[in-house]
Amino acid sequence: MKYYLMISFFCLFQFARSQDFNFSIDHTTLIVNDLKATGDFYEKVLGLKEIDHPTKDPNFRWFSLNGNTQLHLIYKSDIVMKKHKSSHICLSTQKLNEVIDHLKSKNIDFEDWDGHKGQIRLRADGVQQVYIRDPEGYWIEINDAKH
């Protein structure tokens, strides 16, 4: 029994210690085949601010989100990524209704998790969410989670 208590204590200590790093997400990257259309979507439809790539490489488009988080688009003509709703970027806003009105004005389809067009889903934790797709077919969740 003493052995099990010692192992349990060690595991608990390791778990608690792993939370001490205070990680934040610096950036996420998407491989795209049409850098212009996809970049324009993030800039013009979602309103993300494009920022300079440090090397000015024309195969990259970088965007700034709130704070220091960035979205990096990388052009690759020979790679086609599989897309599934379970693998998505999630953007959170306290202006979800305004975003939905904006999507409608741009004729951008949105749906709930189950695929019902034009529907908002209320998650079990009270967060409302919709899903859209960018020109490459990547899924984007937009929700009203409070952080």
CATH of the domain at 121: 3.10.180.10
The 10s digit of each residue's pLDDT in 3-62 is 443 454 444 445 555 567 888 889 999 999 999 999 999 999 999 999 999 999 999 999
Do 59 and 87 have their domain in common? no
Instruction: Output phi, psi for 40, to 5 deg.
Output: -65, -35
Q: Looking at the structure, do residues 94 and 128 belong to the same domain, yes or no?
A: yes
Within this chain, do residues 93 and 146 fall inside the same structural domain, yes or no? yes
State the pLDDT at residue 15.
52
* Amino acid 66: pLDDT: 84
How many domains in the chain?
2
Domain with 95 in it: 83-147
Helices (H) and strands (E) counted in the chain, each on its own, are 3, 8
In this structure, are residues 88 and 141 in contact, taking their beta carbons and an 8 Å threshold? yes
- Separation between Cα atoms, residue 115 and residue 124, nearest integer Å: 18
Round the average pLDDT of the chain to a whole number and report it.
89
pTM: predicted TM-score of the whole model, two decimal places: 0.83
Task: Kindly state whether residues 94 and 145 are assigned to the same domain.
Answer: yes
Better-predicted residue by pLDDT, 5 or 135: 135
Domain match, 63 and 110 both:
no
Check whether residue 115 and residue 71 sit in a common domain: no
Q: What 3-state DSSP class applies to 99?
A: helix
In a domain, 19, yes or no: no
- Interatomic CA distance for residues 135 and 35, integer angstroms: 10
Residue 36 lies in a domain: yes
